[in-house]
Amino acid sequence: MRGPHHPPCTRAHQAGALLLVGVTFLLTRLLSVPPPFPTARHASTAPWPWRGLTSHDDDHLRIYVYADDEIDGLRALLRGRDATVSPATCLKGQWGTQVKIHQLLLKSRFRTLDKDEAHLFFVPSYVKCVRMTGALTDKEINQTYVKVLSQMPYFRRSGGRDHIFVFPSGAGAHLFRSWATFLNRSIILTPEGDRTDKRGISAFNTWKDIIIPGNVDDSMVKPDARAVQPIPLTKRKYLANFLGRAQGKAGRLKLVELAKQYPDKLESPELKLSGPDKLGRIDYFKHLRNAKFCLAPRGESSWTLRFYESFFVECVPVILSDEVELPFQNMIDYTEISIKWPSSKISPELFEYLESIPEERIEEMIARGREVRCLWVYAPDLEPCSAMAAILWELQRKVRRFHQSAQTFWLHNRSTVNRDLVEFHQWTTTVPLP
């Protein structure tokens, strides 16, 4: 019942109320649209690649980085048995990601010096570089890893599930022969999602591991000072190119033969690793930019650095590797920026298909690739778009509040104990892991 002091609700009042609701809705929508370059306030609603890690509060992720003098043996994994390998030696080439990720985490705002507040633990190692320089043998690498892990109580506490390892090459975690015993729960960062061509099992597991981009030459990733600039599509000499060694691999051998049959369409020179005819890095990228499509067949393993390099000379990558895994798949739609073609159909049919693609579509794919290639660049995580920002965003999703291993037990007061009911901070560190 309407009270004595309330005026009657007329049709004009109702219309005015509806108009007010409509105006309020429109203003709210307009004011809530995120800016072109999102701030931290708007980052959670912005699309990748501009979202970065700004959508996470700094308190949401803490990573502890082990120091090389903290654990007996860890320095050998970084510098070799005689400590003769420098980080600068290991910074270039496909194994450079081991160094870059380590160095960037040391400077990261997500780093903590307190193990007890850490959500994740990073174990630095440059073993690919150390192995390639002869500073450690495969046997020594295996023995040293086991020695290091046996001294880490926090690794034992979780069974390794909150510990991070980087394996940067086609061999993946197989560089550590006993990975299946010791790292079967750990988080592995690797560009290699498949390594079953020479082994019966892949070390990559989609539920826990993260695919990372390859290490593109530093001279090509600087936004304003790239050593080699792209050229217009109309000035490119070739339809496609393959700049790599055949290595006795079926797909690559087919490309070499096709280049001989169709020299006006496919460039595939025989690359020399040494001597006067060795192709320098600048010349390599000058060749790479001279085609509309950059072919990326598998080599010793399924991934290839050429896929990432192609984005910086702005040719469309054509993946010829059936088992390849690509990074940040929950952020990037790879159908917008690349082509994946069956390796069983490396034939003139491939050229016919590539020639049928309209120039407008090629330009669209190149433009989209230009937007996301910042995710291949190993830059500080403060950058709104970088490989490190994306890796840390992925790591955030791996954080677990609960830690459990076969060696971990807990009591009613939430204290963590071992089989002998010894509290965690009293655990000895010399007992070998199972």
Looking at per-residue pLDDT, the higher value among 432 and 222 belongs to 222
Flag whether 126 is in a domain.
yes
Cα 67 vs. chain centroid, distance in angstroms? 23
| Alpha-carbon dihedral 199, 195, 209, 330, rounded to 10 degrees | -150
Looking at per-residue pLDDT, the higher value among 340 and 13 belongs to 340
Flag whether 51 is in a domain.
no
Q: Is the pLDDT of residue 425 over 90?
A: no
Q: Is the pLDDT of residue 258 over 90?
A: yes
Flag whether 81 is in a domain.
yes
Q: Is the pLDDT of residue 57 over 80?
A: no
| Sign of CA pseudo-dihedral 357, 361, 362, 363 | positive
Same domain (yes/no): 146, 263: no
Same domain (yes/no): 294, 230: yes
Q: Is the pLDDT of residue 6 over 90?
A: no
Same domain (yes/no): 205, 230: no
CB contact at 8 A, 324 and 303: yes
Residue 267 is inside which H or E element, if any? strand 266-267
Token readout for 218 is 């530093």
Other CB atoms within 10 Å distance of the CB of residue 329: 11
HSE-CB of 432 using CA atoms within 13 angstroms: 7
Q: Is the pLDDT of residue 299 over 60?
A: yes
Which candidate, 248, 249, 250, 270, places its Cα nearest to that of 259? 270
Flag whether 48 is in a domain.
no
Token readout for 15 is 């219309």
In the DSSP assignment, the letter for residue 54 is T
Same domain (yes/no): 203, 242: no
Same domain (yes/no): 242, 258: yes
Flag whether 222 is in a domain.
yes
As for how many domains the chain has, the answer is 2
Average pLDDT over residues 329-345: 94
- DSSP track, 375-392: GGS---TTSSSSHHHHHH
Flag whether 392 is in a domain.
no
Distance CA 51, CA 38 (A): 7
pLDDT per residue over 167-201, tens digit each? 988 788 888 999 999 999 999 999 988 766 666 67
Q: Which amino acid is located at 35 in the chain? A: P
- What pLDDT is stored for residue 247 in this prediction? 81
Which candidate, 209, 71, 67, 65, places its Cα nearest to that of 153? 71
Tracing tokens 């096709």 back to the chain, one arrives at: 258
* Residue 149 CB contacts under 8 Å (≥ 6 apart), including other chains: 155, 160, 182, 433
Same domain (yes/no): 277, 323: yes
List the domain range (segments joined by +) for residue 90. 58-214
CB contact at 8 A, 266 and 351: yes
pLDDT per residue over 62-89, tens digit each? 999 999 999 999 999 999 999 999 999 9
Q: Give the end of a domain, one of 336, 358, 377.
A: 377
Q: Give the end of a domain, one of 151, 186, 214.
A: 214
Distance CA 54, CA 48 (A): 11
Tell me the pLDDT band of 431, cut-offs 50, 70 and 90.
low
- What pLDDT is stored for residue 40 in this prediction? 37
Same domain (yes/no): 181, 207: yes
Same domain (yes/no): 198, 253: no
Tell me the pLDDT band of 3, cut-offs 50, 70 and 90.
very low
Tell me how many helices (H) and strands (E) the chain has: 14, 13
- DSSP track, 167-190: --STTGGGGSTTHHHHSSSSEEEE
Q: Using only the alpha carbons of the chain, give its radius of gyration.
A: 27
Q: Mean pLDDT in the chain?
A: 84
- Show the beta-strand stretches assigned E in 308-350: 316-320, 339-340
In order of 121, 157, 375, 395, 431, the CA distances from 428 in angstroms are 19, 12, 42, 29, 7
Q: Give the end of a domain, one of 214, 240, 266.
A: 214
- What pLDDT is stored for residue 10 in this prediction? 61
- What pLDDT is stored for residue 270 in this prediction? 73
Q: Is the pLDDT of residue 42 over 70?
A: no
CATH number of residue 223's parent domain: 3.40.50.2000
Distance CA 108, CA 168 (A): 20
Q: Is the pLDDT of residue 276 over 80?
A: no
- What pLDDT is stored for residue 248 in this prediction? 85
Same domain (yes/no): 191, 270: no
Tell me the pLDDT band of 383, cut-offs 50, 70 and 90.
confident
Q: Which amino acid is located at 282 in the chain? A: I
Flag whether 286 is in a domain.
yes
Token readout for 421 is 């009911």
Same domain (yes/no): 265, 368: yes
Tracing tokens 């020639």 back to the chain, one arrives at: 355
Flag whether 262 is in a domain.
yes
Q: Is the pLDDT of residue 280 over 70?
A: yes
Which candidate, 299, 272, 300, 302, places its Cα nearest to that of 284? 272
Tell me the pLDDT band of 273, cut-offs 50, 70 and 90.
low
Same domain (yes/no): 158, 111: yes
Cα 2 vs. chain centroid, distance in angstroms? 66
Same domain (yes/no): 200, 224: no
| Terminal C-alpha separation, the chain | 78
CB contact at 8 A, 164 and 173: no
pLDDT per residue over 138-165, tens digit each? 999 999 999 999 999 999 989 999 999 9
CB contact at 8 A, 403 and 69: no
